[in-house]
Amino acid sequence: KSALYIVATPIGNLNDISLRALDVLANVDVVAAEHVHTSGHLLAHHSITTRRITLHQHNETVMAEKIATLLAAGKTVALISDAGTPGVSDPGAKLVDLIRQQGYPVIPIPGANAALCALSASGIVNPQFLFYGFLPTKTGARRNILATLKCYTCTLIFYEAPHRILDCMADLILVFGADRKITIARELTKLFETIHVSTLGDALAWLKTDANQQKGEFVLLLSGAAVQDKSMVSEQAQQILKRLLADLP
Ligand code: SAM
């Protein structure tokens, strides 16, 4: 009977949860939730009264051991995070790793994820994307990471917090240029859901003129480098390779 369920929960609208997820949350012995308040709101909305414990980024290692003990005693446990899919820019991976090592079943219950929700409504035709998640919060580190992504031709997907959105956009312009296309997906599935497609330069100007657009939760989808940029890179790479080959005995 012992099993760990990884259950996706809504990213805003409390009805965005699968029938299977509700069934699992109502019938497991214990729900391990990131925060008591957020999970309480969701579970009460769906009249679920299952016993809860908390697992967050600061106690994941200790709680993973505790959950392993529960499974050893034949219990079933469901992990949920505050929003969306656990383990995606959220705790869960360390727990899953331990439980897998101990040989118990780990069963994913799929559902909402902010990145894929944004991508699905973006109209971006490129089938390839790279999910980066949160960029570093310090400017220097953020710019360094962005520089390493400059030549990628796939769509780049970032999560960003409202108090950093303007700084992040300014750094994107610095590294990728004002003409690169961006989709800003804000407050998905919520009252003020906004999906805005423009160049980086226009997007920053738009954000600055409306303080309301700087609030809430953001997914940024940055279009990939044009293919000619890629060939420039491969030309550069070819030059380096030539020089390296010339040095070989
Ligand atoms: N596990 C979640 C998932 O599957 O998407 C992500 C959790 S992460 C801690 C929270 C970040 O996800 C937010 O800062 C924001 O960047 C993004 N996010 C979550 N909900 C969102 C929403 N409703 N609209 C836009 N972005 C959202």
CA angle in degrees (0–180, nearest 5) for 203-205-206:
60
What DSSP line would sit under 35-87, residue for residue?
-HHHHHHHHHHTT---EEEE--TTTHHHHHHHHHHHHHTT-EEEEE-SSB-TT
Distances (CA, A) of 79 to 28, 53, 116, 118: 10, 10, 20, 24
Alpha carbon of residue 224 to chain centroid: 18
pLDDT digits (tens, 9 = 90+) for 208-240: 999 999 999 999 999 999 986 555 556 677 777
**What separation in Å is there between the alpha carbon of 243 and the centre of ligand 1?**
45
pTM of this structure? 0.92
For atom 8 of ligand 1, which residue has the closest CA?
89
Identify which of 104, 106, 40 has the alpha carbon closest to the alpha carbon of residue 78: 106
Q: How far is the CA of 85 from the centre of ligand 1 (A)?
A: 9
Cα 62 to ligand 1 centre (Å): 25
Q: Indicate the SS3 state at residue 150.
A: coil
Nearest Cα residue to atom 11 of ligand 1: 159
The 10s digit of each residue's pLDDT in 20-40 is 999 999 999 999 999 999 999
Query: ipTM strictly over 0.95?
Result: yes
Query: Residue 41 burial (CB < 10 Å; 0-12/13-18/19+)?
Result: exposed
For the stretch 124-160, pLDDT in tens is 999 999 999 999 999 999 999 999 999 999 999 999 9
**For ligand 1, mutation pick of 39, 60, 159, 218 (most atoms within 8 Å of CB):** 159
Length of the chain as a residue count = 249
192: closest CA among 155, 217, 175, 227? 217
